[in-house]
Amino acid sequence: MKLALVTGSTHRLGAAIAARLGEAGYSVALHASHEHAPDPELESRLSAAGVRHHCFVADLSDERAVAALVPDVAAHFAAPVDLLVNNASLFASDDADSPDMAALVDHFRINGAAPMVLAQAVAEGAGEVGAAVVNILDQRVRHPHRDQQAYTVSKQALWEITRTLAVTLAPRVRVNAVAPGLTLPTDDYGEAQMARLARMMPLDRLPSPDDIADAVLYLAGARSSTGQTVFVDGGASLKSFDRDFVRLGRD
């Protein structure tokens, strides 16, 4: 049995990643920060594929909850975690010239510290064949802009954490990252705006959730790769945007 733990996986991008891994043969430990029902489509895909799965609740801003998550998953499935996907993140808007201390601490705790601690826990419990970690970044780490600065710098920290863990956890654990572009718009985006944003990309398209999930699955099995980041963003990281996408391409 191969076991994957995907944080923030009951809805949106995390759910797409979890479903893809389940369909590829993994048993899946879902994760949410609080009690709620997983996305019905996710449940349907996992059930249709006969995937063994269970949802764990852990507040990733809570040190004790983070410390308990990997052992709880391993105990429930009676197996070590083979793949950790650090997908959960805090994304809060701060339009001031600079974020305050509280915003920085909140973002770094969830987007940087928790993924690092979880990866170390996976390494400690890894079986004989080792394990893999895939961190979910954001294409903006390459060309940051002025919006959501606390979020941005926390993702940049996770980018460097990826490289550091690739060194410190080798050779038994491989650590890589996927940096998505705009994938699942929120209600702040309009349909025409999304079409215009797609045309701004070098590939004239935006990535789909399946594109991101496929990249995660590839890195999960890429036995000779560690410390690498795959940008899945329609080419957005090749350009520099001065504002967040939600502010661009509007009517």
Residue 8, sorted as left (phi over 0), alpha (psi -120 to 50) or beta, turns out to be left
Q: pTM (2 decimals)?
A: 0.96
Given 26, 151, 189, 218, the catalytic residue: 151
pLDDT computed for residue 175 by the predictor: 99
Cα-based angle 32, 55, 91 (whole degrees, multiple of 5) = 15
> Is residue 171 reached through a cis peptide bond, with omega within 30 degrees of 0 on the bond before it?
yes
As for how many domains the chain has, the answer is 1
Dihedrals φ, ψ of 230, to 5°? -105, 120
Residue 78 located in a structural domain: yes
> Nearest CA to 88 among 128, 130, 55, 59?
59
Interatomic CA distance for residues 6 and 26, integer angstroms: 11
Residue 143 lies in a domain: yes
Residue 201 included in any domain: no
Quote the pLDDT of residue 96. Answer: 63
Whole-angstrom distance, CA of residue 86 vs CA of residue 9: 10
**Per-residue model confidence (pLDDT) at position 232:** 99
Residues 245, 251: Cα–Cα separation, whole Å: 13
In a domain, 228, yes or no: yes
CB neighbours (10 Å) of residue 125?
15
Q: Which residues of 137-166 are buried (b: 16+ CB within 10 A; e: fewer)?
A: bbbbbbebbebbbbbbbbbbbbbebbbebb
Is 168 inside a domain boundary? yes
**Does residue 147 sit within a domain?**
yes
For 103, the 3-state DSSP assignment is helix
Backbone angles phi, psi at 126, to 5 degrees: -60, 145
Query: Residue 95: its pLDDT value, please?
Result: 62
189 is catalytic: no
Considering the domain boundaries, does residue 99 fall inside one?
A: yes
In a domain, 210, yes or no: yes
Per-residue pLDDT of 211-251, as tens digits, reads 999 999 999 999 999 999 999 999 999 999 989 888 888 87
Which regions of the chain are under pLDDT 70? Answer: 95-96
Q: What CATH number does residue 80 fall under?
A: 3.40.50.720
Segments forming the whole domain that contains residue 21: 2-185+206-238
Residue 92 confidence (pLDDT): 87
